[in-house]
Chain A
Amino acid sequence: MTSWNNLAPYMRRYTVRVLLFMASYMLILTSSLTFARGSTEHSQATLIGLALISALPIIGVFWAIFRLLVEIDDEYQRLLFAKQTLLATALTLVTVTVWQFLAVYDVVASGPEWMGAIWFAMLGVAGPFARWKA
């Protein structure tokens, strides 16, 4: 098991950033949804603002991931992580393409949603494949 002290500095920065963004996400999402679904009616501008605020921490996680690609000072690890992100992107595109056509042929009610969440899941799936025999 890798301990915190054994982590490379770039991985420590990445971990802290992701944890901060995810904690912000939970806080912002719960408070925004509570506010939006309260008894009072909200203007379109307010709802757009809430949507943008809720999206910000997720955008932050994307930033942290791509910042990691820049900050990895071990070129082989950077290659592996670049492979992982490219594979995650390919798997996401495959998933949403199939999903889209399932919607076109009325197999499912709606087209692709939560593509960011799909990409994060695919990043996890792609990790072992990118590092297979590495």
Chain B
Amino acid sequence: MKNRLKVLRAECDWSQQHLADALGVSRQSVNAIETGKYDPSLPLAFRISDLFALPIEAIFLRN
């Protein structure tokens, strides 16, 4: 599943580590989500959504 996480993170001028700390996951996990290697669970997707104050469908895109 494609996502806009990398773009949104760049807009906030956050590093992967900063985003990882905010989400309570590892930097490796953030990288895996950004590069589309891993689709997060619904709870983690909601945490990402809350952090950027955007609906899930504005972050994760249908293929």
Contact = CB atoms under 8 A, between A and B. Distances in A.
Interface of A is mostly: loop
Interface residues of A, number: 9
Most chain B beta carbons < 10 A, residue from A75, A76, A79: A76
A46 interface: no
B54 to A, nearest CB: 21
A77 B29 contact: yes
A134 B28 contact: yes
Given A134-B32, A134-B37, A77 B26 contact: yes
Interface string A108-134: 000000000000000000000000011
Contacts of A73: 24
A6 to B, nearest CB: 11
A8 B32 contact: no
A74 B26 contact: yes
Interface string A69-86: 000011111010000000
Interface of B: 24-26, 28-29, 32-33, 37-38, 40-41, 44
Interface of A: 8, 73-77, 79, 133-134
